[in-house]
A and B are shown apart, each in its own frame.
Chain A
Amino acid sequence: MKKTRTLGLLALLAVLLAFPLLFSDPAVTTIAIFTLLYAGATTAWNLFSGYTGYVSLGHAVFYGVGGYALALLCKDWNIQGGYVPFLLLPLVGLIASVFAIPLGWIALRSSRHVFVVITIAMFYIFQLLAYNLPGITNGSAGIFLPSPPWDAGFFNTPFYYVSLTVLLLSGGVSWWVRNSKYGLGLLAIRDDEDRALSLGVKTGVYKLVAYVISAFFVGMIGALVGYFIGSLYPPFAFTPVFDITVALMAFLGGVGTLAGPLVGALLLAPLQQYLTVQLEIVGLDLILFGALLLAVILLLPEGIVPTLRRWVKWTASRSARTGPRTDIKGKEEALLVKGGREGKS
C-alpha cells in the first residue's frame, strides 16, 4: 500500500509538473493556478481548523494582509515586476504570521462556537480598515502591484510553478504536523480539549502555533493572487468568498485528513472558476454553487476521503465474509489491514 501510495503521489506530481507543457492555453492554466492556490490555502486552513476543530471563517484576513504586504513592499523598495516579488513571499508569509499572533491569542481564548463568530468579526474589521486607512491601502481606489514583463504566452508559467511550490510546502508541513507528536496534540484538542489539557498538552500554545503556521501559507497565497491579478481592492483582498470557499473545499474532501483538502480543492476550484466565468445569468452561479454544497454536505457529511475509506473497508470486510479467501497474500493482505486501520482515523 505504501508503495502504491508513493507511486500515486509521484505520478500526481509528474502530472502537475508537466501540466503547463501539455496545456498552453492561458485560460486553462489560469484555472490551474487558482486550483493550486486554493489547494494550498485549503491545506493550510485544514492544518489549523481541521486538526484542532476550531473553524476559522476569517482566514481572508491573512489572505488580504499578504496581498497588501507584497504590494507595499514592492512600492517601498521600488521593486519592478519580475521574479523578485516571488522571493519576497516568505517575508510576506512572516508578516501575515505576525498579524496572526495577537488575533489568534484573542480569538482562541473563547469557546469553539464563539471563535467562529470572532474570526468573522476580525475579517470585517480588516476589510473596514482597508477602506478606512487610505494612507496605507489607498482605500477603495485600490493599490497596484508591479506587472511582470512576460509576454502573454509565458505569463502564467512562473505563477504556475510558484503556486505549485507553495502547495507542496504547505502540503509537506501539513503532512509533517499530522505525523508528529505535535499533530497528535492538535487532534487531541479536537477530540476533547479539557482532557488533552489535563493530560499535559499545552492547548493554548498548540492552537496558537497551528493558527500562525496556517496564516503564514495563507498570507503567501494572498500575495501570489494579488501579484497575479495585479491590483488589490478592499472587497477583493478581504473577501468573504475566500473564507467560505476554503472551508467548503476542506469539508467536501474531508476535514482533518491529509488528502481531503487537496481532493476538495481539485474538484471545487475549477468548477467555481468555470461557474463565475461562463454563466451569464445573474445569480445562477450562486444558486448552483449553493445547491451543490447542500447536496454534498447532506449526502457526504464526512467528506469524500473518509467516506471512500469506509467504503474500501466495507467492501474488504464483505469479501472477507463471503468466503475464506486463501489467495490473499503479501501486498493485498497488507492493503486490507492498512485500509481497515485507516478507516478509523
Chain B
Amino acid sequence: MSDAMEGESRDGSDTGDPPLLELEDLSVHFEKRTGLNPFADPEVVQAVDDVSLEINETDTVVLVGESGSGKTTLGKAAIGLQRPTSGNVRYRGQDIWDAKDGRGRVEIAHREIRKSLQIVHQDPESALNKSMTVFNALSEALHLRDEDLDSAGRRQRIYDVLAQVGLEPAPDYASRYPHQLSGGEKQRVILTRALLMNPDLVLADEAVSALDVSLRIDMMDLMLELQEVFDTSYLFVSHNLSNARYLAERANGRIGVMYLGNLVELGTPKQLIENPKHPYTKVLRWATPSLSLEEDDPGPPPVRQIDIPDATNPPSGCRFHTRCPFATEVCTQTVPRLESADDAQDAACFRQFDDHDYWDSDWLDADAADAAAERQF
C-alpha cells in the first residue's frame, strides 16, 4: 500500500490514502494527417484538454457531453488505455504510465493496475466473440485474474456469478453463444466478464444507450446492484442526461459535463439539473426532452450556432464562447477555471462570480443574450 501522497476524500471520510483514481491536468491530443502531403505538419486534435478529476472508492461519476466532447477519450485515459499527452493519471497514488514505463519507484505493478481498471464496451454486438460460449468468455477472464482455480472451482465461480446477474439457469446460459442472447443478456455477460476481474473501477462507455428504453432502467439497476456486490467504482460515459441523472442520483455520485475537451461543470445530479451554472449544462438540459405535459414548448436551441466547432482548432478563451448566448469579449480571451463561487458545484464559467470583469465586458451578441435571458437560460 502506498501512502506517498495525501489524498482527500470528497465525503469527508478522510483516510489519508490517495484517491482511487486521480487525473491531474490531463490532456490528450491526437495528430490528424490531412491532405496528401506526407511532410505537411499534422493538425492536432485536442480531444481532452487540462482536465482534473478525482474518483474515490465505490464512487460513481457520469461524464456527459456531445460527440466530440472528449468524454470517451477522457474515460480511456482514466483507466490507462490512452496515454495522455500531458498531465498525470494516478491509481492509488501510483502514476499509471510511470508504472508502465518503469519510471521511478513503482509501488503498484502495471499489470495489477490494468486488472483493477476495466472497461465495458459501448456495443454489445461486437464486444463478445461470436464463436465463444458464455462459459468460455467468462472462463478466459477468470483465468487472467486467478490462475490457481481448478476447473471445477472455475465452473462453480462462473455459475455463481451468472446467477448473481440474473442469468438463470446458469448452466444453460453458460453454454449459449452470443447469438442466442438478447441485447440485454449480452450486456449482462459483458458486465459480468469485467466484474469477474474484481476491478476497483469499471469504465462503462454508453453501455445503456444502446438498449431499448424499456430495458434501460433494468440494466442501470443491475449495474448499481453489482457495484455493491463487487465494491467497484464506476466511470460512466453517456450522451444522455436522463440516464446520467438516474445513475448518478441512485449511486449518490456526480455528473461531469464535458464540452470540446474540457470538463465544464461537475456536481451532483440535483445541482446540475435543478440549478445548472454553466450555460452549456443548461443547453444539455434544454436538449433533454421531458415527458411532462406541463412543459412548455422548449423553443429553438439556446445557442448561437447548433454545430459544435472543430476540435482541431478550438475557440480561444472559453471554448463555448462561439455558441454561448451570454459570451462577452472576456470569454474570448480568458480561459475559465473549473471552480466554485459558493458551496455548490464547480463550473468553468465567469457568470458565477458577481464581481468578475465579465460583467463589464461587451456582449458578443446582445440580441442572443437578451433572448436567452428572457427564456431564463
A and B physically associate: no
Which residues of B pack against A, CB within 8 Å?
Answer: none
Which residues of A pack against B, CB within 8 Å? none
